[in-house]
Structure 1
């Protein structure tokens, strides 16, 4: 498989977004009435566990919140290493803010996944930092360009930015397990019709 093909064997020519085929990338859409970060993260983790059990090489980051202090951290799905990504605003504050340095430290997990050509890359979210061209957006786009199957989450507030930065090539899914599995099944079906159907299944 070359760099101009995705994991499903579909060619990815360089050109305007509307000339490119749909690729294996999607985001669970969060918004009014949709699950929050915790539930969406649980869907990502469960999806990753199912695919890993099937033999797929799954890598990436999921977000978890400390039940004690409420601070968030990213967790490497493969090695289990944690990366703190929030900082307290002070003893009188009840909120926290994202620490870009923590996110940058965690990005090594995504770059490593691209380097070793993982089958599936899970990324905790496309949020404010990514909408501003920071955070994990470069790693997300690099993974898509390399042909990895990419799954993340995005809030309705950043929907347009997500679509713009991904060139309209990623699917937006309802934040449910059924929608996620239907998307996955559609990838397997679409990929089976490609000339190089060997790229559809998990690695040996």
Structure 2
């Protein structure tokens, strides 16, 4: 996935180059640094216990399980698509209520299939609200078809994310 141009003032920032937990921690740190003056909507992925991945709302702390228990011997996919869609609807409601930034944990397999958080991505774009996310490299073709040329790729660095945020505000000013 390349940048259409090196211009940081794109409405979507994709952070890439670190394991998922590190990127999600960066998203949390960035949202915290913005403080109460910036209304942040969205979800980050957390793993409070082994194999207990969940999405946590940045608005109210609600948690949405990523996986469901299917019982021993099951060979079906353990993703809890219903819970992720519920998280998506919560984010869409938060966007509709008004926000300055949307943080979406990632664009992955479900989003590539136009489910999961895909409607939250679309809602953020429709609201003309900046989006911070990550995209696994294997989903680059689908992501580019969805978001090009609206994104810039950033390294997993808090200063890079802050630079992207500042560039958006210079463009508006």
- Structure-2-length-normalised TM-score: 0.85
After the TM superposition, which parts of structure 1 deviate over 4 Å for at least 4 consecutive aligned residues?
none
> 2:41·2:95 contact (CA, 8 Å) conserved in 1?
no
2:91 counterpart of 1:104: no
Residue equivalent to 2:24: 41
Residue of structure 1 in register with 2:157 after alignment: 176
SS of the equivalent of 1:190 reads: helix
- 1:113 Cα deviation after fit: 1.9
Q: Which residue matches 1:51?
A: 34
Query: For the pair shown, which has the larger CA radius of gyration, 1 or 2?
Result: 1
Question: Structure 2 unaligned runs (5+)?
Answer: 1-8
Give the gaps of 5 or more residues in structure 1.
Answer: 1-21, 193-204
CA distance in 2, matches of 1:135, 1:171: 22
Q: How many residues align?
A: 163
Q: Root-mean-square deviation (CA), in Å?
A: 1.9
Return the alpha-carbon distance in structure 2 between the equivalents of residues 161 and 176 of structure 1. 25
| TM-score, normalised with respect to structure 1 | 0.73
Query: CA–CA distance in 1 between the matches of 2:153 and 2:139?
Result: 12
Deviations 1:39-83 (A, max 9, x none): 110001111111124x1111111111132x322111111211111
1:138 is displaced (CA, Å) by 1.8
